[in-house]
Amino acid sequence: MSYINAAIAADLKQLGARIERLLVDLEHFDLAYFSGDDSDSDAKQRWEAQLDKEEHETHEALQSALFTLEARLGLYADALGLRDVSRRIVDWKERWPHESWAITRHWATSEADGRESRPYSELQPILDGLLVLTGTVETPPPDPVLRKDRERLEHALRSLAKLCRDRNIKPSREHDVQQVMHSHFEGMFDDYTRKVTISKPLVSFAPDAGIPSLKAAIECKFVGAEKVRTGPTSILSSS
C-alpha cells in the first residue's frame, strides 16, 4: 500500500502546486502596466484587451484546477475510508458552488498583498491532512507559516518593477535594481542578507542575497528589452 499512498501524495502535491501557481499568475496581472507610449491609445487598448483575455483564461484555469482537486480529494478520501473527510468535501461544495471557484479576492497587509481563492483556502487543511497521511514518515507536514512567507517573498520579487517605478528610478543596469531590492527587503525579512555563498564541487556561487530562514537565495537580473512587460525581474531558488 505504501506505493499507492506515495502516488496519492505526489498527485495531491502537484494539484496544490498548480493552483498556487495560478494564484501567482493572477497576482502578476495586478502588477502589469503598459510600457508603451500612453499617448498611443489604440496600442494601449489592444494591450488592455489582451491582458483581460489572459486574466479571464487564468480564472477559468483556476476553476478547472479546483474541480480536479475536489474530485481527487473525494476519490482518495473514499479509497482511504475517511468518511469524515468525504462529508467535509460535500459541505464545502454546498458552501462554494462551481461558479465561485473562478473568483479570487485581493488581500493586503502593511507588508504585502496578493490574490486569494477562498474556496481553495478552505480546502487546504484537507489537502494538507491527506498529504500527512499519505506521505512518508520522513516527510514533514506542510508548514503554512513557511509557505506564506515564501509566497510573500515571491510576491515582493515580482513587485520589483513597480517598486522602481514608485521610487522614480529608471534602472539601466542590474545594480540599480539590486539597490531597490536590498532597501525594500531588508525591512521585510529579519534575516535578509547580502552575503550568501552556495558551495559546489568545482566552484562556489554567490547570489545577490538570501533569506536563510526560508532557505532561499536570490539572484537579480535586469531585462532591458521592451518586449518584456515588467522590465526588471528576479530569480528565486531554494535549497
Angle at 68 between CA 116 and CA 58, to 5 degrees: 45
Residue matched to cell numbers 531554494: 238
Buried b (16+ CB within 10 A) or exposed e, 166-192: eeeeebeebeebbebbbeebeeebeeb
DSSP line for 42-100: HHHHHHHHHHHHHHHHHHHHHHHHHHHHHHHHHHHHHHTT-HHHHHHHHHHHHHS-GGG
Question: Phi and psi (nearest 5°) for 218?
Answer: -120, 125
d(CA 239, CA 217): 8
Domain ranges of the chain: 2-142, 157-238
Cβ proximity of 141 and 131 under 8 Å: yes
The CA dihedral of 149, 154, 155, 157, to the nearest 10 degrees, is: 130
Rounded CA Rg of the chain: 21
Prediction pTM value: 0.61
Residue matched to cell numbers 522614480: 168
Exposed/middle/buried for residue 232 (C-beta within 10 Å: 0-12, 13-18, 19+):
buried
The count of other CB atoms within 10 Å of the CB of residue 37 is 9
What pLDDT score does 70 carry? 96
pLDDT by residue for the chain (239 residues), tens only, comes to 566 788 898 899 999 999 988 988 888 887 777 777 778 889 889 988 998 999 999 999 999 999 999 999 999 999 889 999 999 999 999 999 999 999 999 887 665 667 899 999 999 999 988 988 887 655 555 555 566 677 778 878 888 888 888 888 888 888 888 888 888 888 888 888 888 776 655 455 677 888 888 878 888 777 665 544 444 444 444 44
